[in-house]
Each structure stands twice: as structure tokens, then as C-alpha cells.
Chain A
Amino acid sequence: GAVVSQHPSRVICKSGTSVKIECRSLDFQATTMFWYRQFPKQSLMLMATSNEGSKATYEQGVEKDKFLINHASLTLSTLTVTSAHPEDSSFYICSASIPGGQGNTEAFFGQGTRLTVV
């Protein structure tokens, strides 16, 4: 099946620095990718929709200047957490969708990135 790869799998950074997380679709082209964050024992919360060649669409309450998303190619989307603070520590997950021939859409998820801000 289709594979979505995230990098890095875990990262520790100092407060005030920026961290970039990459999401790649390895064997298919993804016009749309999604970024989620997940706190311990909670569900995934959709942060933004990343569209190749255009601006990302952010969900309500997500700061677009803090979570920069770039989708420069059909196989790569990046999420940059700018000026990270301890409260940004979380599990970040990306997904990419492939429209199905019958109107369905299948989403494939990366393995996630554990961000710890110290």
C-alpha cells in the first residue's frame, strides 16, 4: 500500500527555536496533505490542510504564523513550528489522501513526530 513517511520521528529542541517536520508520500503524488497534533490520551486534532502549490488552510484556533506549512511539491509537505515553547510539545502526525475511483478517499498516515520543547 501507499506509504507516508515523516521525519524526524522524535525531536527535542530548546524553547524559542524553530523545528521543521517533513512529510513525504513515497510512492504516490499527494495534492492534499493534512497535519494533526495529538496530546497524550487524546484524539488527533486537525491543524491544517496543506494544498500543493497554494496556501494551507488552517483550522480555527491554529496560529498560521506559528505553524508554517509549505507544500512545494506533490510528494512533500513541511510543518515548521516557529519559536517553539513547552506547550507546543506534542505528537504531530501528517496524512496524505488519494481520491478513489468511486468517490471515496483513502488517507495514509505518517508514523508521527514526537516534539519535546525544553
Chain B
Amino acid sequence: LAKTTQPISMDSYEGQEVNITCSHNNIATNDYITWYQQFPSQGPRFIIQGYKTKVTNEVASLFIPADRKSSTLSLPRVSLSDTAVYYCLVGARMDSSYKLIFGSGTRLLVRP
């Protein structure tokens, strides 16, 4: 199972760009990298998913180097409402099911 390592917490200010890096040294060839956001007492919400290079959507960008052993979630111009826990996940294929194992996540605090 691919294990992920992220910083426990990060602080930022409104309007800044935030980059959260995740290490996944044992990622398998078929695994995708997915980032989720979770607010207190809510289920995680999908942010972005990628396999290699760069992926961008309306809320974030995901940078994945060629060796795929890490990835960086980039949040442009964060606001107070981006204060949440961000999880980097790499899917694990076992017995034809596709389990998502959560790491510790990164607790992002955005200050005014």
C-alpha cells in the first residue's frame, strides 16, 4: 500500500498562494493521486486528481514530477474559507477493490 506523508499543519494569509507537498515513495504504476478537502463535521470533498505532470481545475493545480514519488497541491489566492484539512491519497488496489487510505492530512489555517 502506498503511504503518504504530508506536513501536519500550515499557516497562510488571505490572498496568498499555498503549496502543500505530499510524499508517496511507494506509489504503484497504476495509482492515481487524489487530493481531498475536509471541513469539520463534514465528509471529505474532492479537489483534484492526477497521474503525472500537471493538472489544473477551477480551484487548484496539482504538480506531479516525473518519478511520481511526490505531488504538490497548489491553491491560488486562498481565502478564509479555505481553512480546512487537506488529504493527499494514493489509491491501493487489492482484491479488485480500490481502497483509499487516508494519511494524517495537512491542517491549513488561513488568517485575515
Q: Are A107 and B42 within 8 A (Cβ)?
A: no
**Total interface residues in chain B, CB < 8 Å:** 24
Interface Cβ pair total, 8 Å cutoff: 61
Interface residues on A, range: 20 to 34
Complex-state Cα separation, A116 to B20, whole angstroms: 34
Of chain B, the residue at the smallest CB distance from A112 is: B43
Chain B, residue nearest A93 (CB): B43
The reply to whether the CB of B104 lies closer than 8 angstroms to some CB of chain A is yes
Contact A105 B91 (CB under 8 A): yes
**Chain B interfacial positions (CB closer than 8 Å to A):** 30, 32, 34, 36, 41-46, 49, 51, 87, 91, 95, 97-105
A-B contact pairs, 13 of them (CB 8 A): A43-B102, A43-B104, A44-B102, A49-B99, A51-B97, A57-B97, A93-B43, A104-B91, A105-B32, A107-B34, A109-B43, A111-B42, A112-B41
